[in-house]
Structure 1
Amino acid sequence: MPRVTIGLTTTAVAAALLALAGCSGDDGTDRGVPATTTTATSDTRVVAPGRPGETAATIEPGEGIEITEGGYTETDVRFVEQMIPHHRQALEMAELAADRAQDERVILVADRIMAGQGPEITALENWLEQRGLPVPAPDATHDHALPGMISPLQLDQLANASGAEFDELFLTYMSQHHAGAVDMAAAALAGGTDQLAIDMATDVSVTQGIEIDRMREILDSL
């Protein structure tokens, strides 16, 4: 569906973009693709939704309207390609719960993460493939500089734990991991333009925010 572009970049948007590490490709190039913009005259009164956090605008009959279609920014690309290894580590952590967790609630949280983030990885990979962009290799080393990612030492610590110790570590590390994903999604929502990438970032923000609250509730009750 065509996007209607209205309004200006705000200070809040600029601040949120700082959470996304790297605003250009590794070689310094911008991999964004400009959108196609056309101008039309509205025949009827139109309510144009704003960007996330912005209010809608009303366009009266006879007023000009800019319709933006297609295109994506470097911010979109970075969010998608970075969320893939981020999700992969979450799955690696969640898979440990089946035979190490003691609390049934922890197992349920882990199962929910695997059920949700597995398909999301496929969607993220498809986004890159459809735009002719490389997909991070399945065996690529995790980028531990990404927000929320745990270190190899912490991952080994989790893998070597069991029972109540595993439950506490899992909930602590996964809450940290999810919080990082929410930060990445906030930056994508602030600086992205591709509607599918924005939808995926919105889903990450909402879903993982809810899961953080649930994990903290369980952690407090242990």
Structure 2
Amino acid sequence: MASRRSLIRRTAALATAATAAVVLAACGGSSDSSSSSPSPSSEHSGHDMGAMTSAGPSAADSPARGGHNAQDVSFLQGMIPHHRQAVAMADLAASRAKSPQVKDLAAKIEQAQGPEIDTMSGWLKSWGEKVPDDNMAGMESMPGMDHSGSSAPGMMPDGDMNKLKSLSGDAFDTAFPRMMISHHRGAVEMAKTEQAKGAYGAARTMARSIVTSQSAEITEMNKMLGKQ
């Protein structure tokens, strides 16, 4: 009996020791795991930092898009009244011109330059710059385009505008293209300066379009006048 009780005690002691070893091993494994692996919060933080780095610089750090300079402002403030005068001249053709060619050209000028006036005015407003007053007075002296303080290229003096208003029929059909050729040449000159010195991409694109379209119209008007 004594030996049997002794065997039972030894067996129980071994079982207790084995259980303790298992518990200690489990605790040690848990500790190692927590120390070697990042917590869920640290994993999330690392992911966010990686995403921010891969996304590159913020919009605030990027160069400003569509930047403009003083030349752009000068071009728009000069071209708006220049266009307005061309539209005013073209508007006379509906009731005074006899030639269908002159009437068609005048309509084309109005359709092209009217929307451009609105676009250029919108740019100036968005930049906090002054939009020229919507009137014909004082338009012979417009700012910028390396013509500050002098007559803007191609602008018709009040006397020539009043003369055009007094004409009709064949006389108008001759005077209109002659005056408009000079007017267009001034616009082309202004637009070429903008292409060379401007910074605002959309304004330079418009300037290129003005050079192309108005140069073609000059050729068309020269043909109307019998010039090649």
TM-score with structure 2 setting the length = 0.66
For 1:76 and 1:166, locate their aligned partners in 2 and report how far apart those are by CA, in whole Å: 35
Q: In the alignment, which of 174, 192, 210 is matched to residue 216 of structure 2?
A: 210
Which residue pairs with 2:137 in the alignment?
A: 141
Which residue pairs with 1:103 in the alignment?
A: 99
Which residue pairs with 2:161 in the alignment?
A: 155
Instruction: Name segments (4+ residues, structure 1) moved above 3 Å.
Output: 67-70
More helix by proportion, 1 or 2?
2
Per-residue displacement from partner, 1:62-117 (whole Å, max 9, x unpaired)? Answer: xxxxx774321111110011100000000110000011111110000000001110
For 1:148 and 1:158, locate their aligned partners in 2 and report how far apart those are by CA, in whole Å: 15
Which residue pairs with 1:85 in the alignment?
A: 81
For 2:136 and 2:93, locate their aligned partners in 1 and report how far apart those are by CA, in whole Å: 23
Q: Which SS does the other structure have where 2:199 is aligned?
A: coil
More strand by proportion, 1 or 2?
1
Matched to 2:216, the amino acid is I
Matched to 1:216, the amino acid is N
Is residue 86–residue 181 contact of structure 1 (8 Å, CA) maintained in 2? yes
Structure 2: any 5+ residue segments left out of the alignment? 1-62, 141-150
Counterparts of 1:117-128 in structure 2, within 5 Å, are 117-128=113-124
For 2:138 and 2:83, locate their aligned partners in 1 and report how far apart those are by CA, in whole Å: 10
Is residue 85–residue 136 contact of structure 2 (8 Å, CA) maintained in 1? no
2:145 paired with 1:132: no
Structure 1: any 5+ residue segments left out of the alignment? 1-66
Matched to 2:117, the amino acid is I
For 1:109 and 1:219, locate their aligned partners in 2 and report how far apart those are by CA, in whole Å: 13
Per-residue displacement from partner, 1:7-38 (whole Å, max 9, x unpaired)? Answer: xxxxxxxxxxxxxxxxxxxxxxxxxxxxxxxx
Identity percentage of aligned residues: 39
Is residue 80–residue 132 contact of structure 2 (8 Å, CA) maintained in 1? yes
For 1:152 and 1:193, locate their aligned partners in 2 and report how far apart those are by CA, in whole Å: 33
For 1:100 and 1:139, locate their aligned partners in 2 and report how far apart those are by CA, in whole Å: 22
Which residue pairs with 1:166 in the alignment?
A: 172
Which residue pairs with 2:108 in the alignment?
A: 112
Q: In the alignment, which of 178, 181, 191 is matched to residue 175 of structure 1?
A: 181
For 2:98 and 2:204, locate their aligned partners in 1 and report how far apart those are by CA, in whole Å: 37
Higher relative contact order (CA 8 A, sep 6+): 1
Q: Which SS does the other structure have where 1:96 is aligned?
A: helix
Computed over aligned residues only, the root mean square deviation of the Cα atoms, in angstroms, reads 1.6
